[in-house]
Amino acid sequence: MPSHLRHKSGGVHTLKYKILSASVLSASALSVFVLGGFAGYIGAHIRHQQLETKAAESVAIASVKWEAFKGVHLTFTEPLEALTWSMHGHTNLIHLNRPSSSMWLKTTLPQGEKSSIEVRSVETVYNQTVEESWKLSDTLSRPLTVVTDPGPWQLNVSQSGPYIVRFSAPIQDRSRAIKAMSFEPSISGKWVWQNSETADFYPATSLPSTTQETLVVGDGIHGPVGDGGQYLSSTVTRPFITASDEKIVVQEKLPETLTLYKNGKVVFQSLCNTAMPGGYTPTGSFYIRSKYPSVDMKGTNPDGVHYNDPHVPWVMGLIGNIAIHGYPRASYGWPQSNGCVELPISAAKRLYSMVSVGTPVEIMTS
């Protein structure tokens, strides 16, 4: 046989042997693979069943957090697919978008009162429904409160601030709290947090003297929220008036006078009248708290005679029924009123036009 045929013939036999050997090996390997894969599947299935059993046996509530405006936050020892819970006789089913061991049961809870819920069943990631009753209850935090500086209707308030808001609990979201705090009319400036409970407002520029402002802090779940989920149960309003650069001084030393100072300089002065014997004009420090072009006045004189004076002009209220106002008299400069500070009508009109609510008034005897 030619050498090239023998080479080919030998090559053919060798090739057949290799194919046969490979076939035998492939069958053997396949059987091992099939047997090994089946054994692995069985092992995996057993492990899966063990995990299912463990999940069903060990699922429990690890922690609970109550918040009035959000509801109840639960953390479980195992991830869940679904949960059934009830409150006040209403049953709710939650399906989670992805397995999780923590979730919010969203509801609104009464502040400062005891609330109760029941978790009736959970579904694990192995599609097991665990029928287990967890009855939970807690007393929620009392509503959030606030203390402000300035306080309600405070006078002589600093024109440059700061204006302070102090909450009864640390605030969760400071940016949301700032959005809920405002001034009417609006003031340009910035809020600076001293700590988690206290915020200071600094006006961009000093406010004018005797400016009436109102600090407002919004209530409800969209307002400031404390670390326990508590919130303000009503809107807080704090009207205030900034300090004045003016001051009225009433001198009861004869002749009685009323003097208006602006930045320490006399800008107006007039004779005036204070209370006659048996009447009472209080002494001390006061503020103009109201202004009316005219007021009807009724009462009883120290001698017991009733009076009814309609349209008393240019009335600037101080305290109770005591005011500075115009009144026609034959003369001025000595005690003859029932208690108010009386001025000639023309003088009262001028003073009325010069001062504002919030102007300080000092009444002195010497």
Q: Domains in the chain and their CATH numbers?
A: 61-139 (2.60.40), 146-242 (2.60.40.3710), 246-364 (2.40.440.10)
Question: Are the beta carbons of 228 and 144 closer than 8 angstroms?
Answer: no
Residue with tokens 């405006």, as numbered in its chain: 69
Which pLDDT does position 47 carry in this prediction?
52
Q: Report CA torsion sign: 214, 218, 223, 227.
A: positive
Closest residue by Cα to residue 202 from 190, 193, 213, 214: 190
Residue with tokens 């605030």, as numbered in its chain: 171
- The Cα-based distances of 146 to 108, 171, 224 in angstroms read 22, 11, 10
The pLDDT tens digits for 87-145 are: 999 999 999 999 999 999 999 999 999 999 999 999 999 888 898 889 999 999 999 99
The pLDDT tens digits for 336-365 are: 999 999 999 999 999 999 999 999 999 999
Which pLDDT does position 239 carry in this prediction?
96
Query: Cα separation of 272 and 252, whole Å?
Result: 9
Q: Report CA torsion sign: 266, 205, 147, 143.
A: positive
Which pLDDT does position 179 carry in this prediction?
97
Which pLDDT does position 37 carry in this prediction?
55
Helix (H, G, I), strand (E, B) or coil at 183: strand
Q: Extract the tokens encoding 57.
A: 């046996």
Which pLDDT does position 49 carry in this prediction?
52
Low-confidence ranges of the chain (pLDDT < 70): 1-56
Closest residue by Cα to residue 287 from 248, 257, 256, 327: 248
- The Cα-based distances of 142 to 67, 112, 173, 229, 230 in angstroms read 11, 4, 18, 10, 7
Query: Cα separation of 136 and 133, whole Å?
Result: 10
